[in-house]
Structure 1
């Protein structure tokens, strides 16, 4: 029996939807220092995120993400709009979405879970704590959790 699918032979494909260049830099740094091989793709607004996920326009040849890290506070189409559209699309809804935001508002937490976010993480203000949070997230989602395979006929 071929056990090829029981381990990750290719880098994890992560889509970071974040408009703050400082947070993008810290996230890159955290993933670079982590032990999980990954390709981090970055878009800075909700419209780009949905185009990336749907592989439209300039994103026609991008890989399907294994996971989405989503900020809520985005210019134009905000993170909750992206989450709602992504989870409403049968071909995309199985992609885990982790809300990674500075918002500590209980309303944002509740709404994110109502829209089927898989987790809600509040960004620490301290850069070292931010990096530690991303590393802990990476270890959990790529070492402990079993992610869904990409559907062949979507």
Structure 2
């Protein structure tokens, strides 16, 4: 799989956070295609619908309309074609129960969104470097 085909699924309902994430990825020279789901229902449809996508990594916010991020994560982990996909919770939630529940449901990583853009950009750069360059994903079936 080439870098150009390593799709990122960003599940984010806040347009400002969406813009910051995409800007930070580009600033870090991460040129992968990014598909955005603006709520949990849209994410589920992208992953399980008729024209399902198979992203290299899913960046998942928890506080989402329609279907919350924890339920999206639960469905990802229970799906035959999605259970092994890397999922990174990228959220502003500082609730301990969200961290614990995310790991109970099988998240690969939990990252709190930094407040400053520079810190956010650096966290996004490191996240992209690890999940898109260094990490070896299981083969997609």
Q: Is the pair's TM-score, using the shorter chain for normalization, greater than 0.5?
A: yes
* CA separation of 1:29 and 1:15: change in aligned 2, threshold 3 A: same
The number of aligned residues is 141
Q: Give the unaligned 5+ runs of structure 2.
A: none
What's 2:127 paired with? 137
Give CA deviations for 1:46-83 in whole Å, capped at 9, x if unaligned: 00000000133xxx2x6321110000000121000000
Alpha-carbon distance, 1:9 to partner: 5.3
From 79, 97, 103, give the equivalent of 1:107: 97
Structure 1 unaligned blocks of 5 or more: none
RMSD of aligned residue pairs (Cα, Å): 1.4
8 A contact 2:61–2:89 mirrored in 1: yes
CA distance in 1, matches of 2:4, 2:92: 31
Aligned to 2:67: 77
CA drift at 1:101: 0.3
**Match of 2:7, SS?**
strand
Are 2:33 and 1:43 aligned? no
Residue 10 of structure 1 deviates from its aligned partner by 3.4
Say whether residues 1:124 and 2:114 are aligned partners: yes
Query: Which residue number in structure 2 is paired with residue 18 of structure 1?
Result: 12
